[in-house]
Amino acid sequence: PGNFYGRVTLNGMKSDPETGKKYLNKGDTLSIVLQMINGYAPYQALITWGDGEKTEQDNLEKNEFTFDHRYNSSGTMEIVISITDKHGKQFIATIPIQIK
């Protein structure tokens, strides 16, 4: 079926003044905003947050949605986002983040 495009925005990240690298403090909440560019609603979302937690949602009717997750552990995490539209096309993104 192929793929469609999406835009991912991470809100809540801090920036290390020495290295310029972005990170999130342990205990803070990361907010992910997903904008689907050329897919067709309704969407199914599966987000693996990298700390053992997952978020699944079906029947997302809009082309933009927000997911929040609070990190209670530290280290390097890998967020895997998988969105499937009504035609079975997918948007997949893998985002590494640092939790301090």
Q: What is the structure's pLDDT at 2?
A: 79
Closest to 82 (Cα-Cα) out of 38, 11, 10, 34:
34
User: Does the pTM of the predicted model rise above 0.85?
Assistant: yes
Q: Is the pLDDT of residue 59 over 90?
A: yes
Amino acid identity for residue 13 in this structure: M
Residues with Cβ within 8 Å of 18's Cβ and at least 6 positions away in sequence, in order, are none
Q: Give the span between the Cα atoms of 60 and 83, in whole angstroms.
A: 10
pLDDT band at 1 (very low <50, low <70, confident <90, very high): low
